[in-house]
Every structure is written in structure tokens, then in C-alpha cells.
Chains A and B, each alone.
Chain A
Amino acid sequence: MTDMGQLIEPVIPGLRRYANALVRDPAEADDLVQDCLERAVARWGQRRADGDTRSWLYAILHNLAVNRWRTLRRRGVMAPLEAVDPGSLSVAPAQEHGLARADVLRALDRLPDEYRGVILLVTVEALSYAEAARVLGVPLGTVMSRLSRGRARLASALADDAPVRSHLRRVK
């Protein structure tokens, strides 16, 4: 346990952050992380001894999230993004400087899942490209091309939002 605890526990805050970014519902996200940890504990003996615990944990979590989306979408209960209460995202109201936090998360939500995962793992979770490739189960080249396209799409989504925001500000 001590060995396992020392390797797993430092990763848990990052796992929560990743889960929250993916599913955008704090309770649902913690359910996923709990599920992930239970699996990790159960399969601790089966992981590759030379493998990296951090990417192994993110991979378990990512796969659980993907399965969860599939189920939700099959049932058609995925909440439209507009319906997500911004207050539930623990995000500050729109700031005048830089990118507003709510805006960037909203823009991220509009990206296809394959881009979101890569961007979050590399940018927020600070995984190496090789680790991200392991988590997502894709070749390194795919990680690079998704990262490139994902960042471009996120940037253009944010650029599209900007005029709407200033327009709203003028109106009020």
C-alpha cells in the first residue's frame, strides 16, 4: 500500500482536474475519479512494472470518461453546453484582461473529444507527448496532429466569441 499510495496519491488532484474538464460536472467527475482509483487499486498488480503510474492512471480515467460519454450520448441525456450553469464550473466571472475563464472552457467544450483530451493532457496536465499518446492509445504522430488542429480550432472558437462579448458589453 505505501508504495502504491506514494505513486497514486500525488496524481489524484490532477485526475480530478482532468475529469472535471472532460465531463464538466463536479459530482460526475468525482464519480469517475473514484471509479478510476478503485480500478487502479484492483489492477495495481497487473500494471507494467516499468510503466509510468501517472499516464497509466490518466489512461484509466480517460477510458472511463469515454465510455461514460458513449453511454450518455446513446441515452441522449448529454446536457447541451449552453445549459451548463457557469457557476458550477468554479470559474470567475468574465475578466476584462486576457481570456475569461468561462469563455475558454465553453470554447473547449465545443471541440470534438479527440482534441479536448490532447489539449488538456498536454497543456493543463503537463504530460509529455509520449505520455499523452499512451493515455489516448494513439501514435505520437496522431497526438501531434490533434494538438495542432485542436489548438487552431480552440483559437478560432475563442476569436469567434470575442466580437459577441464586446457587442453584449456595448448593449448593456
Chain B
Amino acid sequence: MSADRPIGEDELHAYLDGVLDEGRQAAVRRYLDARPEERARLAAYRRQGEALREALAPVADQPLPAELNLNAIVERRRTTLAARRRVAAAAAILCIGGLSGWFGRAAVAPPARGIDALGREAVDNHAVYASDTLRPVELASDQRATLIRWVSERLDAPVQAPDLQGAGYRFLGGRLVTTPNGPAALFVYEGASADRLTVMVRPMQIDRNRSMSERSYGTLEGVTWSKDGLGFSVVAPRASTDLRPVAEQVRRQASFS
């Protein structure tokens, strides 16, 4: 009789889980009838299973959140794939464009070195440093001589920090700044209403002698010129002052140096 075959632990679990071969069920029942402690053990397993099912049942009964809607997931994937294909196509076009742009760069984009570049650089530096309330300058007005020596040496040109008291601007100090065309000296001034004005000076490779021109850049305004290979740009917020006379003062003082 098959009941004589020893009962395995696996069979007890299979019995518990209702997957034991029909032919072995009677044998397991007889086995358990004879062993109260084993019966108690299986009863405990059965209880823990019931408790687990009961504890976790609410999750499966909840309505599905929108992000688990399969149709939405399929749809999202479709649009993502389509978008990815578009991105890939766009990237291919950009790549072609980028390569031809790179090889054609000399033809379409002359290097920004001249007086227009100077104006742009001055505005950029003004935007960064003039708005700095804590440390607009690296060397303050009381170190004027050190500042002048430093920037003149780095620019390899005699640079003066103009005195703009007459125009109502107090000298705060200055610093060396970077431009795509090498170092430049930036001098920062403050007006009566704490408005800031900057004067930037750098050597010019091209446009070495250009007359004064005015230009606005968003909220800022700049007057730019060059003389004997040195470029100047005076920048201030638009309408804070009439820049022309200030620029004239800078130019006059520079030609005396």
C-alpha cells in the first residue's frame, strides 16, 4: 500500500497548498491524524497564509491608479518611440548641419575680434561684475596704483583708470577679466544713486582705430571706440546717464597717458 511510503516535507506543503496528488492525500491525512504536533504545525502555516492573504487583499481590491492603466502605458510608449524617432532624425540633421557648419565656419562666421566683439564683451562683464554688491572689484580704489600696474602688465599696454568724479561717478576699483580675445581691464564706478558704470579696456588685433559708436544691449548701453590698438568700452544701464560725455572724458584722459 502506498501509505507505507514515508511522507515528505514537500508533500505536507503540497497538501497544505492543495496541490498534492489525490493518491497521496489519504496517506498524509493518516500521517497527520497520528501526529498532533505536526498537525498543529500545518495549522499554524495555514493560519499564517490566511493572515497574509487577508492583510494584503485590500491592495488588490483597490481601483487601479491611472499610471497603471495599460492602455495609457501602451499609448505613452507609442508617443515616446515616435518622439525618439523624431529626436534621432533631428539629431541626424543637426549632425549634418553641425559638420557642415564646422567645416564652413570660416566662411560664415568671421572670428569676433573687432570693435563689435569688444562692445559685447564689455556688456557681458558689466552684467557679471557691476551687479555684484559684495565684491564688484578685486582691487579697490585705495589700491589704484597696484591695480594699474597689474592690468598694464597683463595687457602689455599702458592702461589708466580714468577719473570720472566730474561726471558724478566714484571709482570703486577694478580687476582683470577674461574675453575671447584675451585679458581685459575692467574698472567699476558708482553713481549718486548707486548705479554702476564700467569701463573696459583691452588691446585690439583688428579695428585698432575706430571712432566712437553707441549701442544698446537689452537694458544696458555701451559706447565703444579704439585708439592706437587699445579698445575702450563704457557701459551703464540704459537711461541712467548720458553716456557720451562720460565716454568723452575717458577718451580725453586716455590720450594724455
Q: In the complex the two chains form, what is the Cα distance from A134 to B44 in whole Å?
A: 27
Known: A9-B70, A104-B52, A124-B52. A151 touches B77 (CB 8 A): no
Q: In the complex the two chains form, what is the Cα distance from A147 to B45 in whole Å?
A: 11
Of residues 126 through 168 on chain A, the ones whose CB sits less than 8 Å from some CB of chain B are 128-129, 144, 147-148, 151-152, 154-155, 158-159
Q: How far is the CB of B252 from chain A (nearest CB, A)?
A: 66
Q: Give the residues in chain A near B70, CB-CB below 8 Å.
A: 4-5, 8-9, 12, 37, 41
Of the candidate stretches B60-68, B149-157, B194-202, the one touching chain A is: B60-68
B55 & A14 in contact (Cβ 8 Å cutoff):
no
A144 & B10 in contact (Cβ 8 Å cutoff):
yes
Q: Give the residues in chain A near B73, CB-CB below 8 Å.
A: 34, 37-38, 41
Question: Sorted from nearest, which 10 A-B pairs have the closest CB atoms?
Answer: A101-B55, A99-B51, A13-B60, A104-B51, A123-B49, A17-B60, A17-B59, A20-B59, A155-B44, A90-B58
Interchain pairs with CB closer than 8 A, number: 111
Q: In the complex the two chains form, what is the Cα distance from A159 to B41 in whole Å?
A: 11
B51 & A21 in contact (Cβ 8 Å cutoff):
no
Q: Give the residues in chain B near A90, CB-CB below 8 Å.
A: 58-59
Q: In the complex the two chains form, what is the Cα distance from A102 to B45 in whole Å?
A: 17
- The number of chain A residues with a CB under 8 A from chain B is 50
B34 within 8 A of A: no
Q: Give the residues in chain B near A4, CB-CB below 8 Å.
A: 70, 74
Q: How far is the CB of A135 from chain B (nearest CB, A)?
A: 16
Q: How far is the CB of B113 from chain A (nearest CB, A)?
A: 51
User: Which residues does A use to contact B, with CB under 8 Å?
Assistant: 1, 4-5, 8-9, 12-14, 16-17, 20-21, 26, 29-30, 33-34, 37-38, 41-42, 89-91, 98-105, 107-108, 119-120, 122-124, 128-129, 144, 147-148, 151-152, 154-155, 158-159
Q: Give the residues in chain B near A14, CB-CB below 8 Å.
A: 60
A17 & B56 in contact (Cβ 8 Å cutoff):
yes
Q: How far is the CB of B204 from chain A (nearest CB, A)?
A: 55
Contact flags (1/0) for B126-151 with A, using CB distance below 8 Å?
00000000000000000000000000
Q: In the complex the two chains form, what is the Cα distance from A20 to B70 in whole Å?
A: 19
B17 within 8 A of A: yes
Q: Give the residues in chain B near A1, CB-CB below 8 Å.
A: 71, 74
- A124's partner among B53, B65, B74 (CB-CB below 8 A) is B53
User: How many residues of B sit at the interface, in one of the four size bands?
Assistant: 20 to 34
A33 & B68 in contact (Cβ 8 Å cutoff):
yes
Q: Give the residues in chain B near A158, CB-CB below 8 Å.
A: 44, 48
**B14 (CB) vs chain A CBs: closest residue:** A129
A41 & B74 in contact (Cβ 8 Å cutoff):
yes
**B19 (CB) vs chain A CBs: closest residue:** A128
Q: In the complex the two chains form, what is the Cα distance from A136 to B14 in whole Å?
A: 19
**B45 (CB) vs chain A CBs: closest residue:** A151
Q: Give the residues in chain A near B67, CB-CB below 8 Å.
A: 30, 34
- A21's partner among B17, B49, B56, B61 (CB-CB below 8 A) is B56
B68 & A37 in contact (Cβ 8 Å cutoff):
yes
Which of B13, B19, B59 has the most chain A CB within a 10 Å cutoff? B59
- B61's partner among A8, A13, A29, A91 (CB-CB below 8 A) is A13
A5 & B47 in contact (Cβ 8 Å cutoff):
no
Q: How far is the CB of B9 from chain A (nearest CB, A)?
A: 5
Q: How far is the CB of B70 from chain A (nearest CB, A)?
A: 5
Known: A34-B73, A148-B13. A16 touches B60 (CB 8 A): yes
Q: In the complex the two chains form, what is the Cα distance from A151 to B10 in whole Å?
A: 12
B22 within 8 A of A: no
A155 & B10 in contact (Cβ 8 Å cutoff):
no
Q: In the complex the two chains form, what is the Cα distance from A42 to B84 in whole Å?
A: 14
Q: How far is the CB of A85 from chain B (nearest CB, A)?
A: 15
